[in-house]
Amino acid sequence: MKAGGGVLIAGQAWSWTADHPKENTLHHFDGNKVSGVAGIYFSKNPAEEENLPVYPQIPSSYMAVVVGKDFEDDLQFLLDGVSELAIPNGSLASEVMVHGPLAFPIGVANGGQAFLAGAYYGQGRVIVAGHEGVLSAEANAPFWKNALHWLDEGRRGVVGVALKNGIKIATDSGLKMEKTGIKKDLSVFVSPSNPKIHWEEIQNFVAEGGGLLIGGHAWYWAQSHGGKNPMTEFGGGFANVAYLTLNSNPVKLYQKPGKANFKLIQYHFRHLLHRFANHVALQETLSKHEEEFLKKLGSDCSTYLNMKAHDSCHYSQVVTTLTDILKKSGMPQVSEKCPVKSPKDHLLLNIGAEVYKVCPNPDDLLPYLIRDNPLLPVVHNHRVKIDVSTEGGEEWISTGLYLSPGMKTYVAIPADIVNKGWQIQIGCQTDHLNAAELKRASCVHVRFPVNSEMIQVSNLWGGLIYLVAPPNTQAQGLQAFVQMAVPAPYYKSGVTTQAEWSLLCTAPSPWAELEFDNIILTVPSDVVRRLDHPDKLAVLWNDIMKAIADLAAKPHKFPRKERFVADVQISHGFMHAGYPIMAHRGSATGLVDVDHVKTKGIWGAIHELGHNQQRGCWEFPPHTTECTCNLWSVYVHEVVFGIKRDKAHGALTSAKRNNRLQDYIKGGKKLSSWSMWMALETYLQLQEKFGWDAFKKVFAAYHKMNNFPKDNKGKMNLYAETFSQTVSMNLTGFFKAWEWPIEQATEEKLSSLPAWTDHPMTNFS
C-alpha cells in the first residue's frame, strides 16, 4: 500500500471480539493490522446485512459521526494511580481539540477544555499535551510511565526524545531512552509541538505502529502569526495526525499552586454532536449533563469548521451533519426583542454562520438561517476612492454601501494594493460577544484578504462594506469598484452636499455613517432619517475633536479618524474604547443630536475618547485606568459645551467631592482606594490651581521623552517631577499628602523650586 498498491479486504470482527474479550480489536484483529494503517477499521459492532443503493458521492450522515470506541480500558490504564498533574505556576496551555472517532480526552480544565488527550491512528497511538510544562514536571512521572507503556504497547522498545531540554519522565518508565530525532527503529517518539521536521515521517511512524507523545502550546504562535490558522498551519498541520489538534484557545490549568484542575469529564465532541443530531432528527432527550455542554459544542464546531479540511471524509461528515441539523431545526432569529438564552439556541446560533461559510450549497441553506430577508434596491458599479495614509494602526475606509444577509457581490481592486495586506470587511460590529444572553450572534463581521483584482464577498449577517488599509501604508488616487450593493445613508463633511444628503438619508441600508474631519459615527439608520443639518453636527464634532487634540497636545488632524459604532449589544461595559469605540444602540441618538449634546453633554462618549488618548508612561494602573480619561470629559464639557464640571457629571458636585476626600482621609489615605473618582480629585486639584495649560504642557513634555519607567512607583515620581518643572513649583509635598511613593531623589531634584505650601491637602499632611 505504501508503494502505491491497492488492497481489497473484507471480513467481520464481531465474532473474533467475542472469542478474544480481553484483546483490543482495533489493533489485534488481523484485518485491522492491514486496513488500520490506512485509518480504516473493522469494529466489534455487529450490523444487519442489507441491500443498499450506491451513490456517486461519498455517503455522509449524522449516523457516521460517532465515537469508534468507549476508551474505558485505555483510561483505566493511563490513569492507574494518578489523581492530579503538577503544572508550572501561571501556565497557559492550548486546548486540545478532540475530534476524531478514535480520539479521546484524558485531562480537562475549565468545564470541558481538554489539555491532555489520546488517540489511535493507523496501527499506532498518540498522546497530546497542551503545554510542554506538563511533560517536564517530575511529579507527573506516574502518569507518564503509564502513558509511555500505553504508547509502547508491550514492545518494550526505545523511547526517542526530541525535546530541546530533554525530559525526565522516561527515566522512570523502565524503557530505554535515547535523545534523537524521529527514526524507524523507535517504539515511542517524544516530540515538541512544532518540530522542524516533516510531519510525513511522523505520520508514517505512527500509522505503522509507533507511539507519539507530543507537548506544547499553540496560542502564542497564533498571537504572533496573525491571519494564519493554527488548526492547520501550526506544527505543519498536526490536525492531520490522529484528529487531535492544538488550537489557539488558552486553558488556565491550575486552581491551586502547582496543581492542575485535573479530572475526567464525560464530554466528547463527536459523541455529543451525534447525540444532538439524534435529538434534532429523532427527538431523543438529552441528559442535563449533555445540555450543559451544548454551548461548548457550538464553540468546538466553529473551531473545527475553521480547519476547512474539505478533502477529509470526517470533516465532510461533520459539515453534512451540521447542515442537516440546521435544516431540521432552523437557526434562532436572534434580536433585541428575541434574545438567545438556552444552550441549544446558543449552539445553533454559533454554528449557523460557520456552516454557511463552508457548506457546498450556502444559497440552499440561507432560508433556514435568515427568515426575514427582504430584497432591497441596489446600485451598480459603485466607485470607491482610495486616498489613505495610515500612521500606525489599520484603518477602515467607508464605501457608503451595505450588503444584505447572504447577498454576494464582486469588488474590483486596483493592482497597486493586491497582496499588500489589505482586506475587505463586511460588517461594522466587530465586538465578539461571550454572554449568557445574546441579542445578536457572537461574531457578525467577516474579512477577506485582498489577494486578487476581483474578489467575491458576502456575509451571512450582511453589513456595511469597508476596505481595510494595513498599518503604515500609503495609497493615493486609487479606485475600487463594487459590482452591486445596497446604498447606505452616508454623509462625509466637505464632500456630501445638503441636496445629496436629503436623498441619501432615506437610503435603504439599516446602517448609516456620518464622517467628519476626525471621527466617523456608525449608527442605525433610523437615527439619521430626520437629521436635517448634518453640517451643524459636523461643526460640533470637529470642535470636540479639536479640543481632544488640544488637551493631548497633539495636532488637530488625527493620524486616524476615531470611530464610534452603536450596536444592540457590546462585549463589555456601557461603552468601551478602541477602534472602533463601541456603544449601545440607545446611545446613538445622543451622538447625533446637537441640542442634546450642547445642553446635556455626552460624558460617556468623551470618556471613551479620553481612553484612546491615555499613554502608559503617565498611567498608573489600576488606579488611573478609569480616571485620567475623565480629564477629557471635564475639559470638553467646560471648553466646548460650556457645561461646568459639577453639572457635567453627578459625581463631581462639591458635596460628593468633599465626601470622597473625607472618606479617603479617614481610611488612612491608602493608594489601594485611590482610583477612578478619588484619583480624579488629585488631578482636579492640580487643574484648579494651575489651569488646563499646565496639563497640555505636561503631555507635550511626555511626547519628547523616552525610556520611561515601567513600574508605578517610577512613573509616579517622573510625573511629579515633570508637573513640578512645568509649573516651576515643587509639588512633592502635595503628592506625598496623597500618599504617592515620592522618593528622596525626586525631592532633591526639585528642592530648588518654591514649594506649594498651601495646597488643598495641607491640613491632611
Residue type, 344: K
Mark residue 411 as left, alpha or beta (left: phi above 0; alpha: psi -120 to 50; beta: remaining): beta
Work out the widest C-alpha separation in the chain, in whole angstroms. Answer: 101
Mean pLDDT of 175-179: 87
Task: Give CA–CA dist 628/738, Å, rounded.
Answer: 16
* Residue 28 confidence class, pLDDT cut points 50, 70, 90: confident
Q: Which residue has the cell 505650601?
A: 757
CATH 2.40.170.20 applies to domain 373-487: no
Average pLDDT over residues 163-174: 66
Cβ atoms 16, 25 nearer than 8 A: yes
Cell output for 343: 444552550
Distance CA 68, CA 688 (A): 74
Residues of the chain with CATH 2.60.120.1250: 373-487
C-beta of residue 731 within 8 angstroms of C-beta of residue 723: yes
Between 296 and 517, name the one with better pLDDT.
517
User: Which pLDDT band holds residue 261 (cuts at 50, 70, 90)?
Assistant: very low
Residue 240 has pLDDT above 60, yes or no: no
Which three-class secondary structure string do you get for 681-718? HHHHHHHHHHHHHHHHHHHHHHHCCCCCCCCHHHHHHH
**pLDDT digits over 602-641, tens only?**
999 999 999 999 999 999 999 999 999 999 999 999 999 9
pLDDT at 161: 86
Q: How far is CA 705 from CA 443, 554, 615, 622, 718, in A?
A: 40, 15, 12, 23, 11
Which range (90-94, 234-238, 363-367) has the least confidence?
Answer: 234-238
Which residues have a Cβ under 8 Å from the Cβ of 57 and sit 6 or more positions away? none
pLDDT in tens, 726-746: 999 999 999 999 999 999 999
Confidence of residue 251 (pLDDT cuts 50, 70, 90): low
Residue with cell 431545526: 329
pLDDT tens for 642-663 read 999 999 999 999 999 999 999 9
Domain 614-764, CATH homologous superfamily name and number: Peptidase M60, enhancin-like domain 3 (1.10.390.30)
Read off the C-alpha cell for 432. 465578539
Cα atoms in the Cβ-side hemisphere of radius 13 Å centred on 255 = 8
Instruction: Evaluate whether 205 touches 158 at the Cβ level (below 8 Å).
Output: no
105: cell is: 480526552
Work out the average pLDDT over 559-575.
95
Q: What is the mean pLDDT of residues 506-524?
A: 97
Instruction: Please check whether residue 409 is in contact with residue 456, taking contact to mean a CB–CB distance below 8 angstroms.
Output: yes
Where are the CATH 1.10.390.30 domain residues in the chain?
A: 614-764
pLDDT exceeds 80 at position 109? no
pLDDT in tens, 207-219: 889 999 887 776 6
For residue 481 the three cell numbers come to: 469598484
Comparing 18-22, 537-541, 557-561, 563-567, which segment has the lowest mean pLDDT?
A: 18-22
595 against 36, higher pLDDT: 595
Residue 388 and residue 420 in contact, taking contact as beta carbons nearer than 8 Å: no
Query: Averaged over 126-140, what is the pLDDT?
Result: 76
